[in-house]
Structure 1
């Protein structure tokens, strides 16, 4: 019998975060598999986004550790986490609404962000790279449009293009299908599959169970701030603990 070994990409040990008297992440020990599409699911309020924020340096955990490829990144700033090779999107798109689509992607990659772009520090190679990622996500025809004028689903694709400009090895997506029409959900799913086939690891928080079950290799379920189940989609969706967390049965 051949044993398939999965390699660790991102891992947390006993991660904990409280806000006042509310424990948002509670002793979470989790391992995400390298080269796979990992999904993180759970009921509303189960701590998924807070977990993302602790991992990516948006907030500091109260205790516990975060490691990436075996290196401790606990408490690093978002900039240092990104430099380590981790990119992320947000539940609500973070874009500059009055800048063009192309400018948004360029800003996402600038070391000094908006200030660098406004000073006119443009490089032909970087512009071409930005256009490349706009083509990949399917919105290159909108490069001169203001970001505020494109649809919400297109803004999600724009945010992803900005993430990809940094060439991350691990991409963390917070509800990529939220508020997006079915056609664009399909496009986002296709992109994730293509990018994963090219070697990128994904961790996806998502409430669209059809998308999760069709897309993921490995699923981790959170409830009340801690993991309660994990495994292939086919096993997780029939786990009694998961059914109880979602349906109370």
Structure 2
């Protein structure tokens, strides 16, 4: 059964700043969903509330039929949702392979450390490194990778958790065009295998070519949604981006 993700009336404020305001979104399962909007429109705060990194002030997040509004990030991950971050979160002094081995789902520290010697975990890590195209770097320290390669490493780490829903926060940010093409191709491949994507991205060319469903945020709330062609023609979107 395809895992579903639904958000209803989500709100989050920081002091007097209303970052997310009564946001309700149903993401399309099995599709590539995108979230776009001007800087400061609440996209990353929305992401952080959905994935349990910060606690929403109001509203509900439902994942696979479970209310996860106040759940920890690890419980949300165990229910099938993985995410990347706007700024890569990797272990810089660990090797590429070691970074993936610590990403294996384990209920305890002992289990996590044990995965470093687990042949099954090592084999799975090498499969994902090969899929993202950095298997030749498995013994390199992560800090020595280019920024684009670190993005691929972070994605491989997300995939080690075998999530059915993958949320990516600006996967193309700071990445050269060749690696943007590789990341785009990976998203298409993984989506074709049945994984749902929710992508926050400022690269409009990438968004419009990759997405099945686009949600537009402005001033903390969704103002439009639909297929890319529909969203591009929406007067509310033009006003939010261009002030026209």
Q: TM-score range by the shorter chain?
A: over 0.9
Q: Deviations over 1:176-206 (max 9, x none)?
A: 0000000000000000000000000000000
Question: Counterpart of 2:136?
Answer: 141
Cα distance in 1 between the residues matched to 2:183 and 2:73: 24
Instruction: Report matched runs for 1:77-96 at 5 Å.
Output: 77-96=72-91
Aligned to 1:3: none
Matched, 1:20 2:15: yes
Find the aligned partners of 1:118 and 1:241 in 2 and give their Cα distance: 51
1:136-195 Cα offsets, whole Å, 9 max, x none, are: 000000000000001000000000000001100000000000000000000000000000
Contact 1:97 1:148 survives alignment (8 Å):
yes
Which digits, 9 at most, give the CA deviation of each residue in 1:43-77, with x for residues without a partner? 01100110011001001100000011332111100
Q: Deviations over 1:104-131 (max 9, x none)?
A: 0111115268775657852001000000
- Give the Cα–Cα distance (whole angstroms) in 2 for the partners of residues 113 and 234 of structure 1: 47
Contact 2:101 2:116 in 1 (8 A): no
Indicate conservation of the 8 Å contact 1:42/1:246, yes or no.
yes
TM-score by length of 2: 0.96
Aligned counterparts of 1:116 and 1:99: Cα–Cα separation in 2: 18
Counterpart of 2:203 in structure 1 is 208
| Secondary structure of the structure 2 residue equivalent to 1:109 | coil
Q: CA deviation at 1:231?
A: 0.2
Paired residue secondary structure (1:75): coil
Q: Distance in 2 between matches of 1:64 and 1:184?
A: 37
Query: How many residues matched?
Result: 243
Q: Give TM-score scaled by structure 1 length.
A: 0.94
1:45 and 1:236 map into 2 onto residues whose CA distance is 19
SS of 1:108's equivalent?
Answer: coil
Q: Does residue 187 of structure 1 match 2:166?
A: no
What secondary structure, in the 3-state scheme, does the structure 2 residue paired with 1:33 have? coil
User: Paired residue for 1:4?
Assistant: none
Q: Which residue of 2 aligns with 1:166?
A: 161
What residue number does 1:131 align with? 126
Q: How large is the RMSD of aligned CA atoms in angstroms?
A: 1.6
Which of 21, 29, 39 is equivalent to 2:24? 29
Structure 1 unaligned segments of length 5 or more: list them.
1-6
